[in-house]
Amino acid sequence: MSHLLKGFRQKFLLSITFVILLTLINSLIFPAATWAASSRLGVDNGYLSSCPASDNCVVSQNADSKHAIDPITYHRDRDAAREILLKVLSVVPRTEVIEQTPNYIHALSKSRIFKFVDDVEFYLPPNESVIHLRSASRVGESDLGVNRRRMEQIRLALLDLKI
């Protein structure tokens, strides 16, 4: 009887190991599929989504002190500010605009080595001369300040272009 239990135990452990390995491989190959189902992107009632508790996100609306970043103020008409922002985004390394409307821009930025994806969002409210922004990593707990630095570099580029 113990020989039967031993064989069953080995097969059971092998099955569990296979399931764990398959789950890990799936999460490495298809991380965005899992993430996308639970993500909250876009503008909802005039606000970009808040940041998760992790340290890999910044947002200019309704943020706590850890995640807060100032919006970008502009002194041109909204359409001109939007076009200049799109031009700046076109030269940000490894960044691609994937969605745009008259008051919203969503881009993806990938890290150089590991190709981690960050969602970069901009909201231009119709009656304000500001660009609200949000940048968040899809995976991990910390981004070592990458999202904040990216947004501050975009801000500086826009200031240099006298937005």
Q: Name the phi and psi angles at 46, rounded to 5.
A: 85, 10
More confident residue, 2 or 150: 150
- Confidence at 27, pLDDT banded by 50, 70, 90: very low
User: What 3-state class would DSSP assign to 109?
Assistant: strand
Query: Given this model, what pLDDT does residue 70 score?
Result: 98
Query: Given this model, what pLDDT does residue 106 score?
Result: 98
More confident residue, 113 or 125: 125
Q: How far apart are CA 64 and CA 67, in angstroms?
A: 6
pLDDT digit string, tens, across residues 77-117:
999 999 999 999 999 999 999 999 999 999 999 998 989 99
Query: Given this model, what pLDDT does residue 35 score?
Result: 41
- The model's pTM is 0.76
Q: Which tokens hold the place of 7? A: 């064989």
Query: Given this model, what pLDDT does residue 34 score?
Result: 37
Q: How far apart are CA 60 and CA 69, in angstroms?
A: 5
Q: How far apart are CA 157 and CA 163, in angstroms?
A: 9
- Confidence at 10, pLDDT banded by 50, 70, 90: confident
